[in-house]
Amino acid sequence: MSALLTIDRMSIAAGERQLVRNVSFSIAPGERLGLIGESGSGKSLTALALIGLLSDAMMATGSILLADTEVVGARERQLVALRGPVVATIFQEPLTALDPLMRVGRQIGEVVRRRMRHDCVSTSSQQVQARVLELLARVSIPDPERLARAYPHEISGGQRQRVAIAMALAWRPRLLIADEPTTALDVTTQADILKLIGQLVEEENMALLFISHDIPVVAAAVDRVAVLKQGELVEDGSVGEVLQAPNNGYTRSLIEAARTFDRALGRLF
């Protein structure tokens, strides 16, 4: 099966400054890849580049082939067709991803309606409403009717992230990008959201690009990891390979740091 996403010698520059250098990796349909790196390593830029959302001051070169469409140099029209049906994104801070003035149900409904239009299916508002409630139930929100009427500020951080996931899911995308989706959440909420993402990715047969600096979190969410350091890809392998026998010195030091914290927790639970 051919890859859903193939990034080939992609670089991103802001004027003279090279922010990402010659990065190549690919994701097969249904595959879960983790992109690990510290702040400033270029991991979020890479995600933005592949949906054509880099700011005007930045330029991507090389090739990003997403569902057989070349993203580098693509026209806005082509990109719009990719965003949503092919790739949907959830971000770290769900509060900024949601419109504060619109009830949660309507925000999800908007996406549902656009997806139905995309499929050339005519819609009634009852159908949209039913699908919104179905999506909220899918992301394990206990009282979908009540939550659909809430504004983003009225619900907790964990529920906001569930809503953001429901919006991404409404597109039925082939690739889900999750950019630090649990960094702003409490540990117990993080565990719930990770479980939810894992379950949905499997049920919907979506591919996943999971971006995080937190190695144990990434290891729990994906099958394969790539490590970025100062804009360069220094490692790409299965979670087991990379954790047990990292090729690169930088990856080794990161894993050693993660192990120090992990060891402190002991073996008993």
> Is residue 78 within the footprint of another protein (CB under 8 A)?
no
In sequence order, what are the residues at sequence separation of 6 or more whose Cβ sits closer than 8 angstroms to the Cβ of residue 175? Answer: 4, 5, 27, 66, 86, 87, 88, 206, 207, 208, 209
- In the shown chain, the binding pattern of residues 150 to 169 toward another protein, with x for contact by CB under 8 A and - for none, equals -------x------------
Among 96-104, 119-127, 200-208, 253-261, the segment contacting another protein (CB under 8 A): 253-261
> Is residue 104 within the footprint of another protein (CB under 8 A)?
no
Query: Rounded to whole angstroms, how far apart are CA atoms 99 and 137?
Result: 21
Closest distance of CB 222 from another protein, Å: 12
> Is residue 124 within the footprint of another protein (CB under 8 A)?
no
Q: Is 260 left (phi over 0), alpha (psi -120 to 50) or beta?
A: alpha
Which residues 12-51 are close enough to bind another protein by CB under 8 A?
38-39
- In the shown chain, the binding pattern of residues 199 to 238 toward another protein, with x for contact by CB under 8 A and - for none, equals --------------xxxxx-xx------------------
| CB of 168 or CB of 194, closer to another protein | 194
Of 71, 75, 53, nearest in space to 62 by CA: 71
Among 44, 190, 211, 227, binds another protein (CB under 8 A): 190
> Is residue 9 within the footprint of another protein (CB under 8 A)?
no
Closest distance of CB 66 from another protein, Å: 29
Among 240, 245, 247, 249, binds another protein (CB under 8 A): 240
Q: Where does this chain bind another protein (CB under 8 A)? A: 38-39, 157, 186-191, 194, 213-217, 219-220, 239-240, 243, 253-254, 257-262, 264-266, 268-269
